[in-house]
Amino acid sequence: MHSDRSRPEILRSPVRDVALTRTRVEIDATGGSDQALRSTSPSLVRESASAVLAVAHARLLTSLDAGRTPGEDAVSELVDTAVALVRTIPQLWLTHTATAYEDRLPAIAAALERQLSAHEHGVLSGELPYSLSVAEAEEPAVRMRHSLAELAGRDHGGINDLISVQSAAINLAALLVRAAGNITTHARASEAPEERIPALDRALLRVEREIAAQAQADTRPLGKANDVIGHHLARALRVCEPARQLDARAADGGALVAARDAWLDVAVHEYVVLPRSTRSCRHPPIDHTTRRWARRSPRLARTTCAARV
């Protein structure tokens, strides 16, 4: 029996919540006649999917063009295109494998939500940004085009190719929804800047000073044979997580203190290791530009505050 904890929580983003809601409403309102689609040849459905892909790719690239200001209909066009992509996949499954359209559509819509939720998890953990790049738009479009080409000539079967087409289409639809969300909240499809309040800057400065003070107090001399970097990395790896699982919804002050102390301990060892490891590299991984970006990054600040404070 699987625990609920084994399933990642579905997260809704304030940046794209409106766009995703519109997308789901349009998908749920979509009607489809299995009988009508069954009489359509698989080759025509593939051609239709290729046409939808071309429109989706073009609209996404156009929305990401820094030299263009999104028009009044930009959000609606992106949402409509995402819906068209989602609708295309069950049509392909129906004509190639006789899988019922209405059985497949809800699963694909749910997969789109999970895709966007996974991205939101990445944003909250500091690993992913809300911003979008042209490179991100190219990858799923190229993959879907290739998979459709592989599917061509297979009027029946081609399960692996259908899975590849579905995966790429969901990824591309998620990018369309993200672009629509960025335009809705920040007027640019490629950007989603987040303001940082002065109180957070002051909190981060206090944490930085606390880490620096503890690192200074912890730099006891080691013998010549000892590796300072290895010593601190080994100690960081030995830091134990709190025995009690942290529940942010519960008023568990002891667990919060234990979690903070554990993260702070790891941060102190990283603080000692980083400058030494940078100096030992021919091409330092962190230069002054990276440091300046890190200090100004709202995402990094939010993550640091959430995870380590």
Convert the pLDDT of each residue in 259-281 to its tens digit. Answer: 778 888 888 888 887 777 666 55
Instruction: Please compute the mean of the pLDDT values over residues 232-249 and round it to a whole number.
Output: 64
Q: For residue 174, which of 285, 3, 51, 13 has the smallest C-alpha distance?
A: 13
Between 164 and 297, where is the model more confident? 164
Between 1 and 238, where is the model more confident? 238
Retrieve residue 226's tokens.
């000892």
Between 195 and 57, where is the model more confident? 57
Q: For residue 57, which of 151, 168, 164 has the smallest C-alpha distance?
A: 168
Average pLDDT over the chain reads 76
Please give the biggest Cα pair distance in the chain: 80
Instruction: Please compute the mean of the pLDDT values over residues 67-84 and round it to a whole number.
Output: 89
Q: Tell me which residue has tokens 């606390």.
A: 210
For 7, half-sphere exposure in the C-beta direction (CA atoms, 13 angstrom radius) is 8
pLDDT at 3 over 50: no
Q: What is the DSSP letter of 9?
A: P
pTM: 0.63
Q: What is the CA radius of gyration of the chain?
A: 25
d(CA 81, CA 59): 8
Are 22 and 83 in contact by the 8 Å Cβ rule? The answer is no
pLDDT at 228 over 70: yes
Are 130 and 182 in contact by the 8 Å Cβ rule? The answer is yes
pLDDT at 198 over 60: yes
d(CA 80, CA 22): 9
Three-state DSSP state, 178:
helix
pLDDT at 144: 95
pLDDT at 282: 53
Retrieve residue 126's tokens.
């500091």
pLDDT at 130: 84
> Mind listing the pLDDT tens digit for each residue in 156-186?
667 888 999 999 999 999 999 999 988 888 7
pLDDT at 4: 45
> Mind listing the pLDDT tens digit for each residue in 206-223?
888 888 888 888 766 665
Give the relative orientation of helices 134-151 and 159-186 as an angle to the nearest 10 degrees: 150
pLDDT at 106 over 80: yes
* pLDDT over 70, % of the chain: 69
